[in-house]
A and B are shown apart, each in its own frame.
Chain A
Amino acid sequence: MNLKKEYDVIVIGAGPSGVSAAIKCSEKSLKVLIIDSNENSGGQIYRAPPKSYVKKKEKSLKENLIQIKFSEDLKKNNIDTAYNHTVWQVSPGYKIDAFSDKGTIQWKTKNLIVATGTYEKIIPFEGWTTPGVIGLAACTVMLKSHQTLPGEKIVLAGNGPLLILVAYYVLKFGGKIEAIIDTSKKSQWLKSIFSLILSPQNFIQGITWMLKIIFSRIPIYSNSIVAKVTNEKNGISVEIKNIENKKSKKISTEVLAVGHGLTPSTDITRLLRVDHVYNELKGGWIAKIDKYFRSSAKGLYITGDGSGISGAVAAHDKGKLAAYAILFDENIIDEKEFKKETVQVLRKLNRYEIFAKGIANLNSTPKELINNIDENTILCRCEDITKKEIIHAIKKGAKNLNQIKSWTRFGMGPCQGRTCQYSVARVAADELNCEVEELGYLTGRSPIRPFPLDKAIGDFDYDEITKVEAAPL
């Protein structure tokens, strides 16, 4: 595909929200580019299998069919796609810098839609860096996209809707679950089903999943957390602890998949220095937006779960609203059309939000998980920084996340704080006896992804280098 240098609209992230926004803009003849680091559309939720996998005719997965439709719709609407492109910098104006196997590229646009979704929040515990301990989201990707069970014996732990989703898929694919360790109480299970489906039509499906898990007779430890993981012969040992009665138990397994909800990706919005607000129930820090997903900067729109967690179905509608906002702001549609087109979508979204609020406590992180972190436990995996080192920095005078970063190097490694920012903030807030939001967030710095120098240089022949005449002696 021959890509242009400049577009009317550029969308970063080809998940449900990005795709729906791109299509809506394109329907009104705007020239749209959609960028994604994966090799296809779908985002993480509908992530396509690797290109080499050929779909069998007789059987298909629902998620896969949705992804195929995304690709078809993008093509039908003549939307340019830049898959396998990792965005490493975005600057005002808007200039988007990305790299791929072919080298670097820069695009320009007046209207930028950031639809970069979320990361998984995983609260540290002793031994969480042990190989074999993976995220629940990683486990989902492994099952749904790569069509692979992570191991012969699997323990699932954490809270939020992914716990049930992963359990269902492991069983559906013929895997064996040793135990499910649920942070929430048993009574919260039904609520968690709701959070997953977010629409009453899918309620039956939710119940089917639940029944499959219940009938499989997997031991479910409610109100419990992973206290510790240690290596043992042929696998790992997971020590679980009941939050109330403090009873503990050890389970041997090959793999532990653990996750504590999702947190919105703010890499790009922090880089662009727009306003952010803190909302624990929506996943933490999010860019400040109006109800049409306009950020505090002109021409910058934030949509999907990256604008606050509310799930894939809502993400689709959020994308539509962001697109209508662009069409109105660019004078392509008048106020009358804008109001007419958005009123229904807004109403639908409001219904989701009311529903989402009711179950949002499942995405919040209980204090017990934070209290369980031992002082020698690593918080920042990239730089090997323990809780003790974070607390030491605070005792010596560090008062916010950026100061703790300067002091300890937390958040300076290849992940740029994506994995640890939330936990470090919670630990620091406890130590300083303040609210998490008072600690601020890590200032965005480029590159937002490790940027290999050979990619910067690109592929070229010796003859292509411009040779400069040597300076006269």
Chain B
Amino acid sequence: MNLRISDYFERGKKVKVIVNETIVEAHEGECLSVVLFISNHKNLRLSPKKRENRGMFCLMGSCQECAVLLNGKKVTSCNIFIKAGMTVKTGDLNES
């Protein structure tokens, strides 16, 4: 099932990004949180004390749960737009 709705908008060109050393295909300019969510990368970071998996939650820059490492820097993925060659790491974000 194609989760991307293509009735109303044309998306950017297809590009590849690297997520935890695997290749994920996406369209240039798509939201990183959304791409990770629909490509089976729902676990984004670990909670501070219990070390439980956390993932995208509010998708509007309020909750800060969607943090990932983008090219080595901690960012909230909901306001990042896909560019070719991005390297994303999820899981334990404090481990270098």
B48 in contact with A60 (CB, 8 Å): no
On chain B, the residues within 8 Å of A138 by CB distance are 56-60
Give Cα A150 to B67, complex, Å.
Answer: 18
On chain A, the residues within 8 Å of B6 by CB distance are 147
Q: Does B42 contact A (CB under 8 A)?
A: yes
B5 in contact with A418 (CB, 8 Å): no
**Which of A52, A134, A146, A150 touches B57 (beta carbons < 8 Å)?**
A134
B59 in contact with A381 (CB, 8 Å): no
Closest chain B residue, CB of each to CB of A386: B50
**Residues of A near any B CB (own CB < 8 A):** 37, 44, 49-56, 59-61, 64, 86, 119-120, 129-135, 137-138, 141-143, 146-152, 173-174, 378, 381-384, 413-415, 418-419, 449-450, 454
B34 in contact with A146 (CB, 8 Å): yes
Give Cα A52 to B28, complex, Å.
Answer: 7
On chain B, the residues within 8 Å of A143 by CB distance are 5
Closest chain B residue, CB of each to CB of A449: B61
Given A53-B11, A60-B8, A135-B57, A418 and B63 contact (CB-CB distance below 8 Å): yes
Identify the interface centre among A60, A131, A143, A152: most chain B CB within 10 Å of its CB.
A131
On chain B, the residues within 8 Å of A382 by CB distance are 48, 64
Q: How far is the CB of B89 from chain A (nearest CB, A)?
A: 16
Interface 1/0 per residue, B1-41 and A, CB below 8 Å: 10111111111100000000000000111110010011000
A137 in contact with B58 (CB, 8 Å): yes
Give Cα A131 to B56, complex, Å.
Answer: 7
On chain B, the residues within 8 Å of A152 by CB distance are 1, 3
Closest chain B residue, CB of each to CB of A384: B49
Give Cα A59 to B6, complex, Å.
Answer: 11
Q: Does B95 contact A (CB under 8 A)?
A: no
On chain B, the residues within 8 Å of A44 by CB distance are 60
Give Cα A149 to B42, complex, Å.
Answer: 14
**Which of A61, A120, A130, A132 touches B8 (beta carbons < 8 Å)?**
A61
A50 in contact with B30 (CB, 8 Å): yes
List the 10 shortest-distance A-B pairs measured between CB atoms, nearest first.
A52-B29, A131-B55, A138-B59, A414-B64, A52-B12, A131-B42, A384-B49, A53-B9, A54-B10, A149-B3
The main secondary structure of chain A at its interface with chain B is loop
B56 in contact with A147 (CB, 8 Å): no
Closest chain B residue, CB of each to CB of A37: B61
A134 in contact with B56 (CB, 8 Å): yes
On chain A, the residues within 8 Å of B8 by CB distance are 55-56, 59-61, 64, 147
On chain B, the residues within 8 Å of A414 by CB distance are 64, 67
Give Cα A336 to B66, complex, Å.
Answer: 51
A147 in contact with B4 (CB, 8 Å): yes
Q: How far is the CB of B14 from chain A (nearest CB, A)?
A: 12
Give Cα A120 to B11, complex, Å.
Answer: 29
Given contacts A119-B60, A147-B9, A381-B65, 4 further A-B contacts (CB under 8 A): A51-B81, A56-B7, A131-B43, A147-B5
**Which of A52, A56, A119 touches B62 (beta carbons < 8 Å)?**
A119
**Which of B11, B12, B58, B79 touches A37 (beta carbons < 8 Å)?**
B79
Closest chain A residue, CB of each to CB of B61: A37
Identify the interface centre among A52, A378, A382: most chain B CB within 10 Å of its CB.
A52
Q: Does B71 contact A (CB under 8 A)?
A: no
Q: How far is the CB of B55 from chain A (nearest CB, A)?
A: 3
Given A132-B42, A449-B61, A381 and B54 contact (CB-CB distance below 8 Å): yes
